[in-house]
Chain A
Amino acid sequence: MFGEKAIELIRELHRASDGQLPAFNEDGIRQVLEEMKALYEQNQADVNEAKSGHSELISTIKFRHCSLLRNRRCIVAYLYDRLLRIRALRWEYGSVLPNAVRFHMSAEEMEWFNQYKKSLATYMRSIGGGEGLDLTQDIKPPKSLYIEVRCLKDYGEFEIDDGTIILLKKNSQHFLPRWKCEQLIRQGILEHVLS
């Protein structure tokens, strides 16, 4: 049945829950494009035939055209949904993506990601006319100025403002200003301790 491969692509994304990015299905895309090429060529041939009198082919042509449109729609949906997931990664992980994720991205998606990063950075720097504002911080409303965090992995030295350095060793606990910890909490180095 036409469009089967295309629907497979969609299903694959649907199965990957929670915004996870599965590996780029280059094979799948290629197969759909091939199917489209085949359909198109068949249609080309039939159109010529129909023009010379075989009007019973018109429904077949129409049918193939619908399949072509459907295939295209699936492909574009697949690509677009992946872009949305990749965009979410910028907001969650920061500008450096973890390796596991990068392996699942195609070269073009990487390019899109880099462009997006740049656009976003330019925009954020332009806010307010001064130094700009980092919109990837302050994701949650601030409850308190300082929070207690626990170090989950050995990280080494970490500099907070005015030059003071903190040594982050596994299982040490620290009471620090909230905004300094946000980045490390998102990276999984620190864990917010609620007691």
Chain B
Amino acid sequence: MFLSDFRKEFYEVVLNQRVLLLVASDVDALCACKILQALFQCDHVQYTLVPVSGWQELETAFLEHKDQFQYFVLINCGANIDLLEVLQPEEDIIFFVCDTHRPINIVNVYNETQIKLLVKQDNDLEIPAYDDIFRDEEDSGNESDESEPSGKRQRFEEEVVERTMKRRQRREWEARRQEILFDYEQYEYHGTSCAMMMFELAWIMSKDLNDMLWWAIVGLTDQWVQDKITQMKYVTDIGALQRHVSRHNHRNGDEENSLSIDCMRIAFEYDLCLALYQHWSLYESLCNTCYTSASLKLWSVQGQKKLQEFFADMGLPLKQVKQKFHSMDISLKENLREMIEESANKFGMKDLRVQTFSIHFGFKNKFLASDVVYAASSLMENTEKDESGTDNFIKALDSLSRSNLDKLHQGLELAKKQLCAIQRTVASCICTNLVISQGPFLYCYLMEGTPDVKLFSRPISLCLLSKYLLRSFIYSTKNKRCKLLPMVMAAPLDIEQGTVIMVGIPPQTESSDKKNFFGRAFEKAAENTNSRTLHNYFDMSIIELKMEDRSKFLDALISLLS
């Protein structure tokens, strides 16, 4: 059931209890987790935190802890499957689910006792009515108990008619139910950021701090970087956060006692969407940001020339632009944003600036929200050392604290490497025509032995790569129809086990609502072909597949979607 008063129905319930937090492996979940941890520490709520990267780990963690905890909080996981069916909990166990995955499983919506949803009831939820899905099983059993001798035949005929009517009604009801459920569950999408929900909880309890606000901002920005929400939703949510930012960071200009430079301040920015540009060189950032590299077609020779023209147009010498951003001439950095925006407009890049926030503390430390998102997610999916998933989770979680600047910087460096790897892979895929049209969708497979392919065995990185590739492909192809197609991308996951990881992303159009049908499509295709698939990730549109089953699976998918 949906909770309306988070404080009374969630926080005060767990206040004197011990809680198990199951946290998914993405940056939004990490941010929500940090906020909740801060609240719990303030009120001495004892908790245990277990990172989970998929359904299997969720199940295992639940089984291991179900005897010790009564209250479970699931962060960014659990809303889109029937939790009670999968986990089979005892009757007194209660789940609080704060998740952006939609659609929310219908059982989770209507269960009154054990599933509590910490979710904003946006008006795009479109929950089917209760009676359309559930029905009391009253009149299935008592069919032929009565035995009245007199008027039996008359009664009998009437009964038969009644029964057939009821059966037909029932069949109609079931058919409608199937249809409603199909429509409801067909498209996957994402709702309001978990971190923002947790921040709202803190705010209604008047326990919100600037640090928590920053985490809420990073959580929202993660949704934007991963292209999970529409532009309009992003702007709306930014507006909501902007009010909080003003409230926390408002300082009168003429106030004598202004904040010490070491205190943390958040500022609204209408800044360039160039990835990590303030911690890199302008040149590198332009080359490795999807938007600019795709628009300028930097994988081609003309693209490189255009890049030079772009810089020339702005009057920025190449030598300056290739230096670290901090070392650029101050005179060039003044009005940089407006200058770039103006030139970008001439080159067909109208959306180079985006509304976001930045954080300042001390003299040296300034970060944009997107910087932190890139850093944390590259730490989380770090394949450089052979560390376990949970080790990386912990590192990424730590990097969100201001006292762990070294980890944040490490993340920034990793993110730079990752972005470069993505660009290289995109360029090679475009140049070698690896993206092929299969009819209803585009398809690309990264062979083993492709450089950096290990990096793309992780879900978030692979999704980012697919989105960038699709965008670049749209700019590179002349085929009008192909520009509107969604894309499926696959990469080797585990060579020994012979598995690949496959993601499906929706088409990229101006007015895209970011709804993804691949989750259901994958399920159906696997069913139809008996392929050995593992739907382990919380996003249904990401699966693992046995390499041998790849071709028949794809064929099934094509025929399903044609």
Task: Enumerate chain A interface residues (CB-CB to B < 8 A).
Answer: 145-146, 148, 150, 164-167, 169-177, 194-195
Contact = CB atoms under 8 A, between A and B. Distances in A.
A180 B1 CA distance: 37
Nearest to A193: B398
17 contacts: A145-B44, A146-B41, A148-B41, A167-B68, A169-B50, A170-B390, A171-B390, A171-B394, A172-B48, A172-B49, A173-B48, A173-B49, A175-B40, A175-B45, A175-B47, A175-B48, A194-B403
A166 B44 contact: no
A148 B44 contact: no
A146 B46 contact: yes
- Most chain-B CB neighbours within 10 Å: which of A169, A170, A171, A176? A171
Contact of B68 (A148, A165, A176): A165
Interface in B24-70: 37, 40-41, 44-51, 64-65, 67-68
B169 interface: no
B409 interface: no
A125 B331 CA distance: 74
B393 interface: yes
B41 A167 contact: no
B149 to A, nearest CB: 66
Given A172-B48, A195-B401, A167 B40 contact: no
Contacts of A194: 403
Contacts of B393: 171
B37 A150 contact: no
B18 interface: yes
B147 interface: no
B351 interface: no
A166 B48 contact: yes
Interface string B1-29: 00000000000000000100000000000
B48 A174 contact: yes
B51 A171 contact: yes
A25 to B, nearest CB: 40
B51 A167 contact: no
B206 interface: no
Contacts of B41: 146, 148, 175
B269 interface: no
B391 interface: yes
Given A146-B44, A172-B50, A194-B403, A166 B391 contact: no
Interface in B434-459: none
Interface string B120-154: 00000000000000000000000000000000000
A167 B48 CA distance: 9
B388 interface: yes
A169 B64 CA distance: 10
A142 to B, nearest CB: 14
A195 B394 contact: no
List 7 tightest A-B contacts by C-beta distance, closest first: A171-B390, A173-B49, A195-B401, A174-B48, A175-B47, A172-B50, A146-B44
Nearest to A160: B46
Interface string B511-548: 00000000000000000000000000000000000000
Contact of A164 (B68, B390, B401): B68
A39 to B, nearest CB: 59
B390 A174 contact: no
A145 B42 CA distance: 11
Contacts of A164: 18, 68
A173 B46 CA distance: 11
Contacts of B45: 175
A170 B61 CA distance: 12
A164 B68 CA distance: 7
Given A171-B391, A171-B394, A175-B41, 4 more contacts: A166-B68, A167-B65, A171-B390, A172-B50
Nearest to B404: A195
